[in-house]
């Protein structure tokens, strides 16, 4: 069954008591690819760091009051990436997510660079993309590369998908113009703390819309998440994203990802711990 899904299957460690594929409503997988990052590289080590740190964490969600001890998440391993070839790797991400969707399960992707979010989101069949990110990721190309972590949201919008950016605070003038032209919705970083996410989601989503949630760790303030390749000060807090997940409980969410973890910039592992916690809290938020 898994022979055709392009996984290297090197790791089966998320979390410590991982469920069988049959029993888990979620399937975790990594995308250890960073060839298209523009500043510090190293995000290819992100999935490995998340699997390592989660071994020491409790499987209790304080925010949602859920015990994940018995839940478990099936870890499918890592996508077999082709370093330097984002298009080929993106196709592999698409095939993995299609396989997970075909099983009636929800993918949770950990990166790796942000480039692969539109591939995963499209393969889930989602209508709407919600992106926590410092950046708009709406450049047409970056350094001549159209499949870069600075273009990922634009690749989604170009296909007609709608997008909501949360925590955004770093733009090029080209991106500001593009987002205005395409009606990309935004909750700017400075507005997040006082945001009413229930109302924002009501405005953004139509009846029946299915959501894909993407978290670029640089959306957080660097004091919470220093381990990213392109840090931007004046960011949002983890509890802001938990409030967003809470508001999303009233909607269908077809998949989520946590991207851009760069362990080389994360000597105390706090960013890896946050990434793991976001996966666990997302899981908790989807339990009845």
Among 122, 175, 216, 240, binds Mn ion (CB under 5 A): 216
Residue span binding Mn ion (CB under 5 A) among the ranges 39-47, 50-58, 180-188, 210-218: 210-218
Q: Which is closer to Mn ion, CB of 14 or CB of 171? A: 171
Least distance CB 170 / Mn ion (angstroms): 7
Q: Which of 23, 122, 115, 117 is nearest to 74 (CA)?
A: 23
Angle at 77 between CA 164 and CA 271, to 5 degrees: 50
Q: Which is closer to Mn ion, CB of 146 or CB of 246? A: 146
Helix, strand and coil content of the chain, in percent to the nearest 5, comes to 35, 20, 40
Query: 233, 190 in Cβ contact below 8 A?
Result: no
Q: Which is closer to Mn ion, CB of 5 or CB of 225? A: 225
Q: Which is closer to Mn ion, CB of 72 or CB of 219? A: 219
Query: Which positions from 135 through 194 interact with Mn ion, judged by CB under 5 A?
Result: 135
Residue span binding Mn ion (CB under 5 A) among the ranges 58-66, 103-111, 120-128, 132-140: 132-140
Least distance CB 113 / Mn ion (angstroms): 10
- Listed in sequence order, the residues at least 6 apart from 215 whose beta carbon sits closer than 8 Å to its beta carbon are 131, 132, 133, 241, 256, 257, 258, 259, 278
Number of residues that bind Mn ion (CB under 5 A): 5
Rounded Cα distance, 273 and 288, in Å: 25
Residue nearest Mn ion, CB atom distance: 135
Residue span binding Mn ion (CB under 5 A) among the ranges 28-36, 95-103, 127-135, 278-286: 127-135
If one counts every other C-beta atom within 10 angstroms of the C-beta of residue 183, the result is 9
Least distance CB 148 / Mn ion (angstroms): 11
Q: Which of 109, 139, 162 is nearest to 282 (CA)?
A: 109
Query: 137, 111 in Cβ contact below 8 A?
Result: no
> What six digits make up the tokens of 66?
């859920």
Q: Which is closer to Mn ion, CB of 45 or CB of 137? A: 137
Least distance CB 276 / Mn ion (angstroms): 19
- The reply on whether position 221 binds Mn ion by CB under 5 A is no
The residues that touch Mn ion, with contacts defined as CB under 5 A, are: 133-135, 216, 218
């Amino acid at each position: 069954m898994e022979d055709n899904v392009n996984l290297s299957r090197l790791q089966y460690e998320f979390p410590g008591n991982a469920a069988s594929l049959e029993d888990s409503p979620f399937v975790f997988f990594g995308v250890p690819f960073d060839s298209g990052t523009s500043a510090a590289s190293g995000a290819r080590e992100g999935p490995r760091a998340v699997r390592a740190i989660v071994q020491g964490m409790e499987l209790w969600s304080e925010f949602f009051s859920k015990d994940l001890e018995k839940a478990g998440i099936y870890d499918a391993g890592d996508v077999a990436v082709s370093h330097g070839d984002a298009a080929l790797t993106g196709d592999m991400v698409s095939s993995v997510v299609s396989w997970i969707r075909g099983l009636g399960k929800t993918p949770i992707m950990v990166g790796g660079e942000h480039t692969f979010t539109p591939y995963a989101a499209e393969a889930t069949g989602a209508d709407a993309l919600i992106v926590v990110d410092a950046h708009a990721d709406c450049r047409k190309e970056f350094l001549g590369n159209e499949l870069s972590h600075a273009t990922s949201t634009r690749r989604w919008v170009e296909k007609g998908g709608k997008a909501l950016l949360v925590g955004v605070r770093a733009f090029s003038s080209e991106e500001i113009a593009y987002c205005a032209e395409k009606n990309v919705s935004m909750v700017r970083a400075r507005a997040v703390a006082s945001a009413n996410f229930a109302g924002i989601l009501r405005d953004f989503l139509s009846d029946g819309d299915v959501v894909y949630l993407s978290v670029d760790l640089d959306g957080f303030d660097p004091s919470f998440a220093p381990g990213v390749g392109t840090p931007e000060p004046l960011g949002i807090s983890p509890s802001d994203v938990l409030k967003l997940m809470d508001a999303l409980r009233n909607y269908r969410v077809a998949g989520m990802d946590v991207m851009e973890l760069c362990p080389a910039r994360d000597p105390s592992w706090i960013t890896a711990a946050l990434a793991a916690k976001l996966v666990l809290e997302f899981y908790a938020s989807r339990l009845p």
